[in-house]
Amino acid sequence: MYLLWTVAAAGFAVDQITKAIAAVVVEGHEPRHALGGALTFTAFRNPGAAGSFAPRATLVFTLLAIVVLVLIARVAPSVRSTGWAAGLGLIFAGAGGNLADRVFRTPGFGRGAVLDFIQFGDSGIFNLADQCVTAGALIVLIQTFRGVPLRTVVASPPGSRPLEQ
C-alpha cells in the first residue's frame, strides 16, 4: 500500500512541477524543438480529454477523475501486489494531476483546462499526467492478463468462502 501512495505522490509532484515550468517557459512562446525536431514543447490548454475529445465536457471529466480517485483510495488498503500498487498509483497520479488543472486553472472550479505541452513527432500534445494514466493502465492490464489478484485472498476453513483483505 505504501508503494501505491509513494508512486501517486511522486507522479503527481513531477506532473505539477513540469506543468508549472511549462506555464512559464513554454506557454506564450514559440514551440521549442529537441532531439532533432522529434520532440516539441508547445503549450495547449485542453478542456477535454485526450486528443481534445469532448472539449465541452470538462465538468464530466472533472467528476470522472474524482470518482477514479475515490475508487482507488477505497481499494488501496487491500492492495498487496507490487504491480497493482504501481499501476493504481500511476493512475491516481495522472487523474489527480489533471484534476488539479481542472479545479485550479482558469476559468474556474471544475472548468479549468489541462495544460498539455509535450509532443513527439506528429502525435497529439500531452503532459506527464496523461503518461502516468497510460502507463498505469498498461500495468493494470498486464496484471489482469497475468491473473495477479488485486487483493490478497486469505485461506478460510473448508466449506466457507475465502475472505478478501
Residue 30 lies in a domain: yes
Which of 10-19, 30-39, 60-69 has the highest mean predicted lDDT (pLDDT)?
A: 10-19
Residue 165 lies in a domain: no
Domain count, the chain: 1
> How many angstroms separate the CA atoms of 107 and 100, rounded?
13
Residue 94 lies in a domain: yes
- Is 122 a catalytic site residue? no
The end-to-end CA distance of the chain, in Å, is 12
Q: What is the pLDDT of residue 7?
A: 97
**Of 15, 101, 116, 122, catalytic:** 116
**Banded model confidence at residue 146, pLDDT cuts 50, 70, 90:** very high
Q: What is the pLDDT of residue 158?
A: 63
Q: What is the pLDDT of residue 70?
A: 97
Residue 160 lies in a domain: no
Residue 159 lies in a domain: no
- Is 15 a catalytic site residue? no
* pLDDT tens, residue by residue, 43-99: 988 866 665 555 556 677 788 899 999 999 999 999 989 999 999 999 999 999 999
Q: Which has the minimum average pLDDT: 74-88, 102-116, 135-149? A: 102-116
| 61 SS3 class | helix
List phi, psi (to 5°) of 62: -65, -50
Residue 8 lies in a domain: yes
Q: Tell me, rounded to whole angstroms, the distance of Cα 29 from its chain centroid.
A: 26
Mean pLDDT across the stretch 128-138?
96
Cα atoms in the Cβ-side hemisphere of radius 13 Å centred on 136? 25
Mean pLDDT across the stretch 95-124?
85
Q: Which has the minimum average pLDDT: 58-67, 125-134, 140-149? A: 58-67
**% residues pLDDT > 70 (the chain):** 81
Residue 161 lies in a domain: no
Residue 134 lies in a domain: yes
Residue-range definition of the domain harbouring residue 139: 2-154
> How many angstroms separate the CA atoms of 100 and 40, rounded?
24
